Amino acid sequence: MGNKEKGSKAERELYQMFVENSYRAVRVAGSGMMENTAADIIAGKKGKKFCIEVKSSKKPIKYITKKQIEEFIIFSDIFGLKPVIALRFNRYGWFFLHPKYLKDSGKTLSITLEQARKKGKRFSQFFC
């Protein structure tokens, strides 16, 4: 399974979590592939609106380009949505956090599993 398929699988998994918790959610077609589609999922329910960038990793660190996060934050702001980075580390599950917790690693931004465990929250802590 290639990276694109793994990413799509993680997005579908997270989408289902939103549906099961009484949110309305949509996966953004072409996210990351076309201009002006800088989010993977948009989800909300009364009084709560989120723009979500989904990442998964089998390694204990995830790198994301600065450009991708900048475009994601702009996209979130245009729609008045709260930006959320959703990280799924294999064998450790999902962590949710604000993009400000990503660490500047030079050309990229990064988050380690350890940092995600300290700064991130689980689904029920973040969204419920």
pLDDT at 9: 93
CB 52 within 8 A of CB 43: yes
pTM of the model: 0.91
Work out the average pLDDT over 33-49: 85
4-19 in b/e form (b: 16+ CB < 10 A) is: eeebbebbeebbebbe
Work out the average pLDDT over 5-17: 92
Helix (H, G, I), strand (E, B) or coil at 54: strand
> Would you please indicate which residues are annotated as catalytic (active-site) residues?
31
**Pairing of β 103-104 and β 41-45:** unpaired
The C-alpha torsion from 62 through 68 and 74 to 78, rounded to 10°, is -100
pLDDT tens sequence across 48-102 = 999 999 999 999 999 999 999 999 999 999 999 999 999 999 999 999 999 999 9
Sorted by where each begins, the domain ranges of the chain are 3-127
Q: Which fold has domain 3-127?
A: Trna Endonuclease; Chain: A, domain 1 (3.40.1350)
